Amino acid sequence: MTNAPLRIGVAGLGTVGAGVLKIFAAHQDQLNARSGRPLEVVAVSARNKNKDRGVDVSGFSWEDDPVALARRGDVDLVIEVIGGSDGPAKAATEAALARGAHVVTANKAMMAVHGGHLAQLAETHGASLRFEAAVAGGVPIIKALGEGLAANKMRRVYGVLNGTCNYILTEMQKSGRDYLDILADAQELGYAEADPTADVGGWDAAHKLALLAALGFGCKVDFAGVSVEGIERISLPDIQFAAELGYRVKLVGVAEMSEQGLSQRVAPCLLPADSAIGALDGVTNAVVCEGDFIGQTVYEGPGAGEGPTASAIVGDVIDIGRGGVRPTFGVPASDLSSAAQRPEDSLASAYYLRLTVIDKPGVLAQVTKVLGDAAVSIDQMRQIGRQPDAATVLVVTHEAAHGQVRDAVDQISRLDVSLAEPIALTIERA
């Protein structure tokens, strides 16, 4: 271990970048002591030098171009908080790693899309690439999977990975208001972006799940292999009927390994209301890890925001300051292999279905016949909310193969009596 200062450059001075500088200003002596060497921010980069960020940046060298920051000879470690899977974030990260400088990033999109390439680049040049802040904010799940649980063969990793979606679904349940009303509230409160597609469409959670799967199962990051569905079609009847059954609707990312291969999916589903994930409220994130020797462990905490994300970033900086370079995904990049993809049709679970059909005699018989022909057994069925010439039918199935349910739902959607695309949600085991 060296006592020489670890010289740091911060690329990006938005909310999180400013938060990092605030932590250094507040706890410099503590950080130095825990790292075992001085940690010194020497340079920063952002688009607007004169913007008020609530923290003094006048004592640092300034670079307009983050790539120029990454190439500075007096910067040993680059903190990348620019965002985006490509563009300046990727270019700055590559520039730093190519000359052997360490990188700490909060960029889930970049790591999910280019993580394998960047990990190989880091290891080729003897640098560390750390990304604790990219998943679940202040929850140390990357460290847990990569270190604390490393003795285990992981079977399943799942959780609520997007606070915006969890806030919306929680408020729908508590207030009885519909999706669009709560989404507007989330945007006003700053929980959702003006364009919320990445969050409510499930893409943010999918980026994070791909990283958890790579760490948990020791395989290459495969973002393209994640099946993604968002919460845009969830309605109040879904929330309310799930509650009557003892469930809550959550957007959940699930990665599990079996003899048939790796399955990765992000979708709204039903979970027992009293389970660790089902009981989760608001913008909180939670991840459940299931290993062969440890059993089940649960990690919960704030999933975003200035303080939690900056805290995770600085934690990674401290680890690098202590010395030693470990593989980005727990296994040398050259040893990572692509996991076989388990066919989604081979998965099995109980399902919740919501159907909108013409309200006339014989319709339910048509629906039950389609399900029966597809070998999908019905556990419960009820009709709710009669409207002129239309009815909503809610169905809970026994466990069935996803392919069988998909085929049945497709057939129901093509019936003459079907008035809208059916909703099909898995009922996940907790």
* CB-CB contact of 264 with 219 (8 Å): no
Indicate whether 363 and 330 sit together in one domain. no
The answer as to whether 265 is a domain residue is yes
Indicate whether 172 and 126 sit together in one domain. no
Assigned token pair, 308? 């939690």
Q: What is the mean pLDDT of residues 283-311?
A: 93
Q: How far apart are CA 187 and CA 190, in angstroms?
A: 5
Indicate whether 365 and 326 sit together in one domain. no
Indicate whether 158 and 215 sit together in one domain. yes
* CB-CB contact of 20 with 309 (8 Å): no
Residues 6+ apart with CB under 8 A from 33: none
Asked whether the predicted pLDDT for residue 344 surpasses 70, the reply is yes
Residues 358-395 pLDDT 10s: 988 899 999 999 999 999 999 999 888 667 788 899 99
CA-to-CA separations, 175 to 15, 179, 394, in angstroms, rounded: 30, 11, 22
Q: Can you give the CATH number for the domain in which 257 is found?
A: 3.30.360.10
Asked whether the predicted pLDDT for residue 179 surpasses 80, the reply is yes
Asked whether the predicted pLDDT for residue 124 surpasses 90, the reply is yes
Q: What is the mean pLDDT of residues 205-231?
A: 96
Percentage, residues of the chain above pLDDT 90: 83
Assigned token pair, 238? 């879904």
The answer as to whether 142 is a domain residue is no
What does pLDDT average to over the chain? 94
Assigned token pair, 69? 């920051």
Asked whether the predicted pLDDT for residue 137 surpasses 90, the reply is no
The answer as to whether 218 is a domain residue is yes
Instruction: Give catalytic residues, as residue numbers.
Output: 208
Indicate whether 162 and 225 sit together in one domain. yes
Reported as a pLDDT band with limits 50, 70 and 90, residue 336 is confident
Reported as a pLDDT band with limits 50, 70 and 90, residue 3 is confident
Q: What pLDDT shows up at residue 1?
A: 56
* CB-CB contact of 242 with 271 (8 Å): no
Q: What is the mean pLDDT of residues 9-26?
A: 96
Indicate whether 216 and 292 sit together in one domain. yes
Indicate whether 74 and 127 sit together in one domain. yes
Indicate whether 124 and 156 sit together in one domain. no
Reported as a pLDDT band with limits 50, 70 and 90, residue 334 is confident
Assigned token pair, 292? 């062969």
If 0-12 CB within 10 Å is exposed, 13-18 middle and 19+ buried, where does residue 285 land?
A: buried
**According to the per-residue pLDDT averaged within each range, which of 48-52, 282-286, 342-346 is highest?**
282-286
Residues 227-240 pLDDT 10s: 999 999 999 989 99
Indicate whether 374 and 320 sit together in one domain. no
Q: What is the mean pLDDT of residues 89-100?
A: 98
Cα angle vertex 270, ends 266, 271, to 5°? 100
Beta bridge partners of 322: none
Q: Can you give the CATH number for the domain in which 31 is found?
A: 3.40.50.720
The answer as to whether 373 is a domain residue is yes
- In this structure, of 9-23, 127-141, 152-166, 382-396, the range with the lowest mean pLDDT score is 382-396
What total number of domains does the chain contain? Answer: 3
Q: What pLDDT shows up at residue 191?
A: 84
Asked whether the predicted pLDDT for residue 105 surpasses 90, the reply is yes
Sheet containing 129-130, strands listed edge to edge, beginning at the edge strand earlier in sequence: 61-63, 39-45, 6-11, 77-80, 102-105, 129-130
The pTM for the full model equals: 0.94
Indicate whether 178 and 61 sit together in one domain. no
Q: What pLDDT shows up at residue 193?
A: 84
Q: How far apart are CA 269 and CA 420, in angstroms?
A: 20
The answer as to whether 42 is a domain residue is yes
Residues 240-282 pLDDT 10s: 999 999 999 999 999 999 999 999 999 999 999 999 999 999 8
Asked whether the predicted pLDDT for residue 160 surpasses 80, the reply is yes
The answer as to whether 158 is a domain residue is yes
Query: Which domain covers residue 354, as residue numbers?
Result: 345-427
Q: Can you give the CATH number for the domain in which 371 is found?
A: 3.30.70.260
Residues 6+ apart with CB under 8 A from 161: 135, 136, 204, 205, 208, 209, 251, 253, 266, 285, 287, 303
The answer as to whether 143 is a domain residue is no
Indicate whether 187 and 124 sit together in one domain. no
SS (H, E, C) the chain: CCCCCEEEEEECCCHHHHHHHHHHHHHHHHHHHHHCCCEEEEEEECCCCCCCCCCCCCCCEEECCHHHHHCCCCCCEEEECCCCCCHHHHHHHHHHHHCCCEEEECCHHHHHHHHHHHHHHHHHCCCCEECHHHCCCCCCHHHHHHHHCCCCCEEEEEEECCHHHHHHHHHHHHHCCCHHHHHHHHHHHCCCCCCCHHHHCCHHHHHHHHHHHHHHHCECCCHHHCEECCCCCCCHHHHHHHHHCCEEEEEEEEEEEECCEEEEEEEEEEEECCCCCCCCCCCEEEEEEEECCCEEEEEEEECCCHHHHHHHHHHHHHHHHCCCCCCCCCCCHHHCECCCECCHHHCEEEEEEEEEEECCCCHHHHHHHHHHHCCCCEEEEEEEEEECCEEEEEEEECCEEHHHHHHHHHHHHCCCCECCCCEEEEECCC
Indicate whether 152 and 269 sit together in one domain. yes
The answer as to whether 34 is a domain residue is yes
Reported as a pLDDT band with limits 50, 70 and 90, residue 211 is very high
